[in-house]
Amino acid sequence: MRQVVLDTETTGLSWQKGNRLVEIGCIELINRRPTGRSFQKYLNPERDMEPGAMEVTGLTLDFLSDKPLFSDVVAEFLDFIKDAELIIHNAEFDLGFINNELSMLGATFGKIADYAQVLDTLKMAREMYPGQRNSLDALCKRLDINNKHRKLHGALLDAELLTDVYLLMTSGQTGFGFDQSNQAQNVDAQVLTPSGFEGRAFVLEDSLAVCAIHQERLDGIAAKSGKKLWAD
């Protein structure tokens, strides 16, 4: 089975208010194993970043101004995700932005539902851990996944972390849609003790390329501000 773990970064929280995509990051899985194939693009949003988005991503319009438009990469992106199951954390957010970008190009490209199915790991986590925080950072902490290098949000970096989260949350599952009748038993038996997860070999190691991109952004912010805001 082919799956694609996907994450995006945006200029702000609402596409309805004119915010746009600034980064797409994807990781390919075949039969639960990362293949080494990925898709990552920074995008020129043709508008300013909102302060909150700039703070969490470190991205600025200066950095993004020479990057491709979504229209320049849409065919490559859709080809990468075609016929896969998309694994997205809080899928409504990412799909809202992507579908909005597609609609801005006219009726030619349709919607994401025309290309792929979607599994929302936030909905899965809320069922597995009711009443608890289920952000990506919270899940990394709960499942003992090292995310200390996540000083800023980045789509490809977050897709790698979500790959780890997804594989651990579904360890022992033979399928990718949970059996609702026995989901709780499966979770208690196989997910709440991730330190014993023998399938950890499937989890992505930190990509040197991703870390280099992340560090370049950090260095750029430090150079402009004249001071380093975080420890190495």
- As annotated, the active-site residues are 153
**Helices 208-225/155-169 angle, 10° precision:** 130
H-run or E-run covering 221: helix 208-225
Round to whole Å and give the CA distance between 134 and 82.
28
Roughly how many angstroms between the first and final C-alpha of the chain, as a whole number? 39
Question: CB of 24 within 8 A of CB of 156?
Answer: no
Amino acid letter, 107: A
| Other residues' Cβ atoms within 10 Å of the Cβ of residue 17 | 9
| Other residues' Cβ atoms within 10 Å of the Cβ of residue 211 | 13
